[in-house]
Structure 1
């Protein structure tokens, strides 16, 4: 593994061509419990999305099943027409029927219909990054990626991403078509996808870690070991956890989400933190055995 201390590159070339600031914004927290329905007032969600872009975010990550459909609609309402430097990523391949029911749907005709629906909700002719939310175990990978590749050749998708897979599956996918990004769970307390991260580094793929703050655990008392480092930097624990991801690998592009303007600003301030070699060593020791 490679640590970068003192400074790091703040941008990443997604797909080798789209420059994005490595700390983006995720939209899941704009929806209600279980990512179902609205969380609060629509105008508040729109305001947070606009504030994220005003504060320098150039990568917005959403999904068709957040709401479902609601998060994509909010992105379009807040940000369309999209700035030239703004990259919109969304996901398809999972159907929601309740706040606790997720159904993987990877047949080619399903993926095409989902992508077309996302295009309409996002009010765009082409999605910058379309991510397969889950590989469907009942459908050959070649068929799933073939459907996305066809959409890419038609100009409806610019780049393809994958969500929640193993290193071996990623290598197999790369043998079938071009992949620009991966989304797996990865944070200070969960590094089980380290092998996937290494493949991303080797191939220049963006790694968008989900639950970068361990779903809130890293901002609470369970992360007391962060206190000393946070105190020295005069920063909240969550900022240190996000800064660690930015230092951990140049391909890591976390997209933490929030519905709070104050929390948004706090998250984005992690870009300003420079961790020392001693900080990084102590944070490495937090990894589970």
Structure 2
């Protein structure tokens, strides 16, 4: 990891750098959840030892937030991911993206939602998915899924999920 602070560099052997993402501070004393995948992926270092989702953004599907963290994990930018202040239901859901959809998403550098949409679009020329697009960022992600080219192997793995 490149670090500009002389206090932390050089690292002692075994030191793990951890940080949290998922909130922004628009003004003093105000913390707002921010879990959009493009925000979660904007690391400005080569590698983080532990990246924790500090708050779940209620405006962004939880699977998309976990998917963005898993992409960083799969790309090697993060050694471990963690969650703060989540309930058991979300903790179990976070473990579930380890399946074929999450794996294909990591392989292609896209969100699990985009992988699912790409599969639907390839499955049949007469299928027109209508995914939820509350924020504009979701609209852009959903439209981008139309450009995703799944390999035959990826398509087969995704098809097996629903079989």
**Pair 1:94 & 2:15 matched:** no
The root-mean-square deviation of aligned C-alpha atoms, in Å, is 2.0
Q: 2:97 aligns with which of 168, 176, 179?
A: 176
- Taking the aligned partners of 1:142 and 1:162, their CA distance within structure 2 comes to 13
Q: 1:105 aligns with which of 34, 46, 67?
A: 34
Aligned to 2:17, the other structure's residue is in SS state strand
The offset of 1:160, in angstroms, is: 0.5
User: What residue number does 1:83 align with?
Assistant: 12
User: What residue number does 1:133 align with?
Assistant: 54
Q: Deviations over 1:157-182 (max 9, x none)?
A: 1111001111221111112249xxxx
Write out aligned runs for 1:235-254 (5 A). Answer: none
5+ residue gaps, structure 1 = 1-72, 120-124, 179-289
User: What residue number does 1:146 align with?
Assistant: 67
Write out aligned runs for 1:13-92 (5 A). Answer: 76-92=5-21
- Taking the aligned partners of 1:95 and 1:160, their CA distance within structure 2 comes to 19
The offset of 1:100, in angstroms, is: 0.9
Higher relative contact order (CA 8 A, sep 6+): 1
Aligned to 1:130, the other structure's residue is in SS state strand
Q: CA contact under 8 A between 1:145 and 1:177: conserved in structure 2?
A: no
- Taking the aligned partners of 1:104 and 1:92, their CA distance within structure 2 comes to 9
5+ residue gaps, structure 2 = 100-163
Higher radius of gyration, 1 or 2: 1
Q: CA contact under 8 A between 1:91 and 1:133: conserved in structure 2?
A: yes
The offset of 1:83, in angstroms, is: 1.6
- Taking the aligned partners of 2:96 and 2:6, their CA distance within structure 1 comes to 38
The offset of 1:98, in angstroms, is: 2.1
Q: CA contact under 8 A between 1:96 and 1:103: conserved in structure 2?
A: yes
Give aligned pairs, total: 97
Write out aligned runs for 1:166-245 (5 A). Answer: 166-177=87-98
- Taking the aligned partners of 1:99 and 1:132, their CA distance within structure 2 comes to 21
- Taking the aligned partners of 2:25 and 2:96, their CA distance within structure 1 comes to 30
Q: Using structure 1 for the length normalisation, give the TM-score.
A: 0.32
